[in-house]
Structure 1
Amino acid sequence: MGMSVTISEAGEQDAEKILKLQYLCYQSEAELYGDYSIEPLTQSLDSIKAELTTGRVLVARLGDEVVASVRGTVGTDGTARIDKLIVHPRMQRHGLGGRLLDAIEQRLGAGGTAKYFQLSSGHRSEQNLQLYRKHGYTAVSNQHVNERLTVVTLAKEAAAGAYVARA
């Protein structure tokens, strides 16, 4: 490609770019489950701006373009919740999702803050589930939402995630 992808903390100036990327990335999920009213497609710009101040938000950039993002928070019980790991469709299947997952785990786990990492995915989202399993996550619960969707929650101990990120 000629340029390398860099991962950094997102700023308020990234909120609109994250929202647009999120809308693009969740189209395939909406199609997979036959539901275009899912929260990532209806989330407001103000809501994303609020997430920038209440949790950790990372972006991956190719030059000036935001091509991937992930969000995370650590609860008072030490559970780090990782949400909305998104990668631009043209950048998928090149390891960027795994790099972002490693980066958010590292930041949420810094200083021993996080005891466990937890994330969720729809049961039909096999590429997502495969990525999470590859990174040490195991299914801990299933929540039947409706006839089309079961949400799979996966988790791992933070100590299990404390390894050097791969290049």
Structure 2
Amino acid sequence: MGMSVIISAAAAEDAEQILKLQYLGYQPEAELYGDWAIEPLTQSLESLRTELTEQHALVARLGDEVVGTVRGHVDAEGIGRIGRLVVHPRMQRHGLGGRLLEALERRMAEDDRPVKAYRLFTGHRSLGNLRLYARQGYRQTAVEQVSSRLSFVHLEKPAATPLAATA
């Protein structure tokens, strides 16, 4: 009997599983750029726990195991800032990353502040990420050179316009 992946809000007790998944998920990125000091690999459990209380955080669960996660918040200008999308390597290429992004966009749209657009970034060599974001409607807005080995590709997607109420 197969199990379904369920997406829900992250709870404080998910912090350790999220951190382990983040560490596993960002290993290929570190290797791609030759930099094992990237922030997702050096983040402390305490820092992650703080983020979970200050941001929207979602997890994808397969049974009791966290197999995907994403975080984000709506800033003062109404921009939904999305980060740390991670899917367990064995669960990749099955649409889970897209499902997590869509769920987070919906969650942020329910925030007290209206959302004008969603923004995220990824490394310039992270072609799988760039393909995923393009499929989800994100378009490149800028490229920021971070170092001789890394440039961040910034992407944006306009927020959906709410349907007007009918009389």
For the aligned pair, the TM-score class normalised by the smaller chain equals over 0.9
Equivalences, count: 161
How far the C-alpha of 1:93 sits from its partner, in A, is: 0.3
Counterpart check, 1:121 vs 2:122: yes
C-alpha distance in 2 between matches for 1:95 and 1:21: 17
1:49-76, Cα deviation, whole Å (9 max, x unpaired): 0011111000000000000000001001
How far the C-alpha of 1:110 sits from its partner, in A, is: 1.8
Q: Which amino acid aligns with 2:114?
A: T
Q: Which amino acid aligns with 1:24?
A: L
Q: Percent identity?
A: 59
C-alpha distance in 1 between matches for 2:3 and 2:114: 34
Q: Which residue of 2 aligns with 1:102?
A: 102
Range with bigger deviation, 40-49 or 107-116: 107-116
Range with bigger deviation, 103-112 or 124-133: 103-112
Residue 67 of structure 1 contacts residue 91 of structure 1 at CA under 8 Å; is this kept in 2?
yes
Residue 109 of structure 1 contacts residue 115 of structure 1 at CA under 8 Å; is this kept in 2?
no
RMSD: 1.2
Q: Which residue of 2 aligns with 1:71?
A: 71
Normalized against structure 1, the TM-score is what? Answer: 0.93
Residue 80 of structure 1 contacts residue 118 of structure 1 at CA under 8 Å; is this kept in 2?
yes
Range with bigger deviation, 105-114 or 15-24: 105-114
How far the C-alpha of 1:113 sits from its partner, in A, is: 2.4
Question: What residue ranges of structure 1 are gaps of 5+ in the alignment?
Answer: 163-167
Q: Which residue of 2 aligns with 1:134?
A: 135
Q: Secondary structure at the match of 2:3?
A: coil
1:19-68, Cα deviation, whole Å (9 max, x unpaired): 00000000000000000000000000011100111110000000000000
C-alpha distance in 2 between matches for 1:59 and 1:69: 4
Paired residues for 1:1-167 under 5 Å: 2-110=2-110, 113-159=114-160
Q: Secondary structure at the match of 2:134?
A: helix
Residue 29 of structure 1 contacts residue 125 of structure 1 at CA under 8 Å; is this kept in 2?
yes
C-alpha distance in 2 between matches for 1:115 and 1:55: 18
- Structure having the higher helix fraction is 1
Q: Secondary structure at the match of 2:143?
A: strand
Q: Which amino acid aligns with 2:15?
A: A
Q: Which residue of 2 aligns with 1:165?
A: none
Q: Which residue of 1 aligns with 2:165?
A: none
Q: Which amino acid aligns with 1:32?
A: L
Q: Secondary structure at the match of 1:77?
A: coil
Q: Secondary structure at the match of 1:152?
A: strand
Larger Rg: 2
C-alpha distance in 2 between matches for 1:14 and 1:4: 19
